[in-house]
Amino acid sequence: MDKLVINGGNPLKGEVTISGAKNAAVALIPATVLIDGICTITNVPNISDVKISCKILEEIGAKVEWISKNELKIDTRNITNTTAPLDMTSKFRASSYFIGSLLGRCKKAVVGLPGGCNLGARPIDQHIKGFESLGAKVEVSQGRISAEATKLEGTHIYLDIVSVGATINVMLASVLADGSTIIENCAKEPHIVDVANFLNTMGADIRGAGTDVIKVKGVKKLTGNSTYSVVPDQIEAGTFMLAAVATKGDLIIKNCIPEHMDCLTAKILEMGAKVEYNDDTIHVSASQRPHKANIKTQPYPGFPTDLQPQIGVCLSIANGTSIIKEGIWESRFQYTAELNKMGAKITDQGKSAIFEGVEKLYGAPVEATDLRAAAALIIAGLVADGETTLTNLAHLDRGYENIEEKFRKIGANIQRISEE
What residues act catalytically?
Answer: 117
Residue (55 or 63) nearer to ligand EPU, CB: 55
**Of 114-122, 264-272, 285-293, 349-357, which segment contacts ligand EPU by CB under 6 A?**
114-122
Among 29, 117, 176, 383, binds ligand EPU (CB under 6 A): 117
Nearest CA to 251 among 5, 1, 2, 10? 10
| Piece of 105-113, 116-124, 177-185, 223-231 that binds ligand EPU (CB under 6 A) | 116-124
Q: Which of 3, 51, 108, 122 binds ligand EPU (CB under 6 A)?
A: 122
Minimum CB distance to ligand EPU, residue 392 (Å) = 14
Under rule CB under 6 A, which residues in 21-50 are in contact with ligand EPU? 23, 26
Total of residues contacting ligand EPU (CB under 6 A): 25
Q: Which is nearer to ligand EPU, 281 or 334 (CB)?
A: 334
Q: Which is nearer to ligand EPU, 70 or 297 (CB)?
A: 297
Per-residue binding string, ligand EPU, 251-290, x by CB under 6 A, is ----------------------------------------
Neighbours of 190 (CB within 10 A): 21
Contact 353, 346 (CB under 8 A): yes
**Residue 172 binds ligand EPU (CB under 6 A):** no
Task: Check residue 84 for interaction with ligand EPU (CB under 6 A).
Answer: no
What are the Cα distances from residue 220, in Å, to 60, 152, 175, 207?
Answer: 21, 12, 9, 17
Q: Is 140 in the site for ligand EPU (CB under 6 A)?
A: no
- Under the binding rule (CB under 6 A), the answer on residue 188 touching ligand EPU is no
Across 69-196, the runs of DSSP E, i.e. the strands, are 71-75, 108-112, 137-141, 144-148, 156-158, 180-184
User: Shortest gap between Cβ of 221 and ligand EPU (angstroms)?
Assistant: 27
Q: Are 257 and 232 in contact (CB under 8 A)?
A: yes
d(CA 173, CA 100): 4
**Burial label, 362 (beta-carbon count in 10 A; 0-12, 13-18, 19+):** middle
Nearer to ligand EPU, 43 or 163 (CB): 163
Q: Which is nearer to ligand EPU, 261 or 384 (CB)?
A: 261
Q: Strand 137-141 and strand 144-148: pairing?
A: antiparallel
Task: Select from 328, 390, 396, 414 the one that contacts ligand EPU (CB under 6 A).
Answer: 328
Q: Is 393 in the site for ligand EPU (CB under 6 A)?
A: no
Cβ of residue 120: shortest distance to ligand EPU, in angstroms?
Answer: 7
Q: Which is nearer to ligand EPU, 155 or 281 (CB)?
A: 155
Applying CB under 6 A, which of residues 125, 205, 280, 405 lies at the interface with ligand EPU? Answer: 125
Q: Binding marks (x or -) toward ligand EPU, 283..312, rule CB under 6 A?
A: ----------------------xx------
* By CB under 6 A, residue 336 contacts ligand EPU: no
d(CA 184, CA 197): 18
Candidate ranges 163-171, 243-251, 335-343, 411-419; the one touching ligand EPU (CB under 6 A):
163-171
Contacts of 66 (CB under 8 A, 6+ apart): 72
Strand ordering across the sheet containing 144-148? 108-112, 144-148, 137-141
Single out the residue of 11, 192, 8 nearest to residue 100, CA to CA: 192
Q: How far is the CB of 363 from ligand EPU (least distance, A)?
A: 25
The correct pick among 101, 163, 247, 388 for binding ligand EPU (CB under 6 A) is 163
**Residue 61 three-state SS:** coil
Q: Toward ligand EPU, which CB reaches closer, 166 or 284? A: 166
Peptide bond into 301 cis (omega under 30): yes
Q: What does the DSSP assignment read for 267-329?
A: HHHHTT-EEEEETTEEEEE--SPPBP--EEB-STTSB-GGGHHHHHHHHHTSBSEEEEE-SS-
Sheet holding 214-217, edge to edge: 156-158, 180-184, 214-217, 205-207
Partner residues linked to 38 by β-bridges: 75, 224
- The CA distance from 362 to 382, in Å, is 10
Rounded CA-CA distance 90/72 in Å is 23
Query: Which chain residues interact with ligand EPU by CB under 6 A?
Result: 23, 26, 93-94, 117, 121-127, 161, 163-166, 187, 305-306, 328-329, 371-372, 399
